[in-house]
Each structure stands twice: as C-alpha cells, then as structure tokens.
C-alpha cells in the first residue's frame, strides 16, 4: 500500500506542476484579456473626449489635426498620417460611390474618407463594439458630415455583410472596401463579400495589418487567384488590391 503511494508520488507531483501551471496560465490569460478590453475602451473614451473638446466643430481638417495632436502624447488605434495619406490617394483616385469600412474605431479614417467623397458618395462603416460605434459616430457628426453621407452599422462584420443589400439601391455595389478590423476575419469576410455579389468589378480593397501571420490565409486566397485579384501597393502593412470580377473559369 505504502509502496504504491511512493510509486505514484512522482506522477502526482508532475500532475500538480502541469495543471498548476496550466491553471496559472489560464488565469493570466483571462486577466490580460480583461485588461486589453478595458484599455481599449479607456483609450477610445479618452481619444474621443480629447478630440471632441479640442477640435473646431464642423471642420473635418481640424478633427484630423486634433487626432494627430492626441497621438503625439498617447498612442491610439488610428491608422495614422502615413497610411492616412495612402488612403487619401486611393479614395481620390477611385472616386467611390459607396465605401465599406470594416472597423471604424474612433472615426479617424471615416472622417478622412468622407472629406474626399463626391456629392453622391456614401460611407457604410462597421464597428462591432456599440460604445465605440456611438463615439465614432459622434466624431463623424462633429466633423460636419450628415447622415445622408454615412451610416454606422454597430454589429460584427459578418452580420453587416449579410445585410449589405438593404443598404444598397438596385444596381449599386461597392467601389472601395477598407478592412481594418480583426485580421482573422479578413478571409471569411472576403469570401462573404465574393458570394454577396456586392463587389463591383474594379473594386479596390485596402487591407491593414496584412503582413502578420494572421493575414496569411487572406493573402494565400488572393494570390491563388491572380485572374480575380490584382495585388497593387503595400505600405507599412497596408495593402491595395483590385477585385477584377468573378472569373469565368470557375
């Protein structure tokens, strides 16, 4: 009996060490997740408060300058000036009728896009966190844009894409899609967009943070179909692609 106990002692020790570490790791993971979440909201709230109270209301350029000012002191979730210039260049060149933005965050890129749209241009912007969506929408309104020009969809991207048709009039489709949400969602969302038929031939896709390992499935999908997708420029992990239309070969 005691021999059995002695024999099983190493097993028990190993089990304790193993599961103890696992449990510890699990707890630590939960904690960082909670911290990440709070920090995200805090940063959105702080960015919003700073921009809202320090910009000149009704002036989009002042809103953008105030975002930059804030970012000089605190890092924020915005795409920033360099990628912002890239985005500006694409929006000006494509002159889109309808833009879909996945991942609105604080509304920085939404304001950048809206200020360059023509009179008939419209932005559909998607934000899964309802509090962030409210804050972002307020910033867009503060920048002087009207609800005729934009619509905020406070839901996950998959849901927004599934309901896309209700936001487009007959024959209307997407001319520009900006993906700046969860990189793991890029491929499933692209597949859903392909199926939806909402992508117009020549539609430009701008995808952010694409060079990390999470972006690989998306890039593999795109690179496997050179007749459907043309890869254009890449800048600091933001890539421009063109959707050439559904291929007849498939």
Ligand X SMILES: *[C@@H]1O[C@H](CO)[C@@H](O)[C@H](O)[C@H]1NC(C)=O
- Here's the x/- map for ligand X, 126-155, by CB under 6 A: it reads as -----x------------------------
Residue 38's contacts (CB-CB under 8 Å, 6 or more residues apart) are none
Nearest approach in angstroms of CB 18 to ligand X is 21
Among 8, 16, 29, 225, binds ligand X (CB under 6 A): 29
CB 232 within 8 A of CB 242: yes
φ, ψ for residue 9 (rounded to 5)? -60, -50
Nearest approach in angstroms of CB 109 to ligand X is 9
CA separation (Å) from 247 to 3, 225, 226, 227, 250? 72, 9, 10, 7, 6
38 binds ligand X (CB under 6 A): yes
CB 151 within 8 A of CB 121: no
Enter the DSSP assignment of 158.
Answer: H
Q: Residue with CB nearest ligand X?
A: 80
CA separation (Å) from 163 to 120, 153, 160? 21, 10, 5
Would you say 182 or 244 has its CB closer to ligand X? 182
Would you say 104 or 193 has its CB closer to ligand X? 104
230 binds ligand X (CB under 6 A): no
φ, ψ for residue 205 (rounded to 5)? -110, 125
Would you say 122 or 209 has its CB closer to ligand X? 209
- Rounded to an integer, what distance in angstroms lies between the CA atom of residue 173 and that of residue 168? 7
Binding piece for ligand X, criterion CB under 6 A, among 4-12, 42-50, 91-99, 239-247: 42-50
Handedness of CA 112, 117, 119, 123 (dihedral sign): negative
Binding piece for ligand X, criterion CB under 6 A, among 37-45, 162-170, 200-208, 221-229: 37-45
Residues 47-106 that bind ligand X (CB under 6 A): 49-50, 53-54, 67-68, 71, 75, 78, 80-82
Would you say 66 or 125 has its CB closer to ligand X? 66
Residue pointed to by tokens 């943070």: 209
* CA gyration radius, the chain: 23
225 binds ligand X (CB under 6 A): no
φ, ψ for residue 179 (rounded to 5)? -105, 115
Nearest approach in angstroms of CB 34 to ligand X is 9
Binding piece for ligand X, criterion CB under 6 A, among 34-42, 92-100, 176-184, 220-228: 34-42
- Rounded to an integer, what distance in angstroms lies between the CA atom of residue 143 and that of residue 115? 9
Would you say 75 or 202 has its CB closer to ligand X? 75
184 binds ligand X (CB under 6 A): no
SS3 call for 84: helix
State both tokens at 37.
């979440």
Q: Residue numbers of the site for ligand X (CB under 6 A)?
A: 29, 32-33, 36, 38, 41-42, 45, 49-50, 53-54, 67-68, 71, 75, 78, 80-82, 131
């Amino acid at each position: 009996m005691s021999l059995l106990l002695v024999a099983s002692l190493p097993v028990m020790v190993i089990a304790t060490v193993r599961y103890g570490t696992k449990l510890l790791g699990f707890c630590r993971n939960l904690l960082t997740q909670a911290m990440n979440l709070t920090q995200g909201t805090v940063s959105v709230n702080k960015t919003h408060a700073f921009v809202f109270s320090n910009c000149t209301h009704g002036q989009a350029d002042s809103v953008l300058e105030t975002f930059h000012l804030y970012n000089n002191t605190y890092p924020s979730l915005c795409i920033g000036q360099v990628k912002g210039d890239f985005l500006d260049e694409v929006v000006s060149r494509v002159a889109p009728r309808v833009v879909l933005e996945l991942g609105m965050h604080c509304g920085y890129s939404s304001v950048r896009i809206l200020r360059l749209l023509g009179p008939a241009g419209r932005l559909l912007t998607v934000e899964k966190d309802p509090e962030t969506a409210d804050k972002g929408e307020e910033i867009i309104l503060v920048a002087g844009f009207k609800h005729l020009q934009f619509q905020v969809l406070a839901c996950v991207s998959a849901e927004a894409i599934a309901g896309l048709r209700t936001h487009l009039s007959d024959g209307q489709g997407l001319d520009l899609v900006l993906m700046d949400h969860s990189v793991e969602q890029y491929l499933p969302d692209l597949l859903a967009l392909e199926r939806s038929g909402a992508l117009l031939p020549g539609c430009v896709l701008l995808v952010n943070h694409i060079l990390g390992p999470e972006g690989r499935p998306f890039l593999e999908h795109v690179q496997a179909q050179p007749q459907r997708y043309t890869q254009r420029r890449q800048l600091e992990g933001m890539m421009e692609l063109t959707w050439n239309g559904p291929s007849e070969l498939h």
